Amino acid sequence: MQLDSPLGVGDAAPDFALAVADADATSLSDFRGESVLLVLASPHWDPASEMLAARYPDAGDGAPMPRIVTERRAEITNRFGVQGGSALYVVDERGVIRWRWVAGVDVVPQSSVDTDDDRLSLTRRDFVQSAMMAAAALAAATLAPAVVNAAPAVPDVTAALSHGPATRITLDVNGRPLALDVEPRVTLLDALRERAGLTGTKKGCDHGQCGACTVHIDGRRVLSCLTLAVMVPDGAHVTTIEGLAQGDTLHPMQQAFIEHDGFQCGYCTSGQIMSATAVVREPWGPADDDVREAMSGNICRCGAYPGIVAAVQSQRQSRSAEGPR
């Protein structure tokens, strides 16, 4: 997969037609003359982008606020070089990018600020404030509360986004390369969800007790919440729930969970399915009780267990009908 570099500070923001036309704007260029906060997020990151856009206006203290444009169509985000990831851009009155925060596939999250540029038509205060707000909004979505609280006191937008020395890691996630600079304390779960935008893997207990974060590393089911991202062996294949379906065709286990009512609220389901797709390869006995034992590391508070057992059994039986594994 060819990856482009995301657009950076000083680049002209590509114009595009707004997904939802405003009373006075149908395209990005209609906002010339004022600054715009552009929230680019993939569909995978939908809840986070909503949160970013929603929280941003609340953080103001009367200073002029940039307009907020949320955009998640792939053909647009691709033009910014942000494939499958997420980004925030502050675009100035002339349509030039003045600040960015980028996270995603093969991209190092970073912010770039150039407040000494005399061409900058935003006032320094407005600009720093809007960048700060973007950082704070993002921090609210991705970082610990203590960091959010600290942000206003630190007039450096990068401080809210990065803490210690980062290590470059290269993962293979669902067959695609993913290069990230992460601190050692970042779990694989947080790297997948907050950095790669793969939010199908869920954070339940975050302590290895619920199984919601189950992913495969080289085909073995493991808990991403107790795996530090830096520990994933070089060249290892990570598979998440997003990697099971082939295009629009669901994985047979996904289809089985639907057919056998293997979920209610759905929060544990991606972990259940990732566990189940590994269980069929493990040497368990044939009984329902064997499935219950094999799947006991995946907790379902809705109590969809009978459907889960039925779904797993249907796949084990269809696999054994096909012959030896």
Q: Which residues bind other proteins (CB under 8 A)?
A: 163-164, 167, 183-185, 187, 206-208, 211, 214, 220-223, 226-228, 230-231, 233, 275, 278-279, 282-283, 292-298
Our CB check for other proteins shows the closer of 27 and 296 to be 296
Give the shortest CB-2-to-other proteins separation in angstroms.
31
The C-alpha atoms of residue 189 and residue 150 are separated, in whole angstroms, by: 24
Give the shortest CB-196-to-other proteins separation in angstroms.
20
Our CB check for other proteins shows the closer of 92 and 190 to be 190
Beta-bridge mates of residue 177: 172
Our CB check for other proteins shows the closer of 8 and 297 to be 297
Our CB check for other proteins shows the closer of 82 and 210 to be 210
Our CB check for other proteins shows the closer of 86 and 214 to be 214
Give the shortest CB-209-to-other proteins separation in angstroms.
9
Our CB check for other proteins shows the closer of 184 and 306 to be 184
Our CB check for other proteins shows the closer of 52 and 230 to be 230
Our CB check for other proteins shows the closer of 132 and 160 to be 160
Give the shortest CB-217-to-other proteins separation in angstroms.
8
Residue with tokens 């067959």: 175
Give the shortest CB-172-to-other proteins separation in angstroms.
17
What the block records as the tokens of 288 is: 């329902």
The C-alpha atoms of residue 232 and residue 247 are separated, in whole angstroms, by: 27
Give the shortest CB-145-to-other proteins separation in angstroms.
14
The C-alpha atoms of residue 272 and residue 258 are separated, in whole angstroms, by: 12
Give the shortest CB-258-to-other proteins separation in angstroms.
23
Give the shortest CB-235-to-other proteins separation in angstroms.
11
- Number of alpha carbons in the 13 Å side-chain half-sphere of residue 113: 18
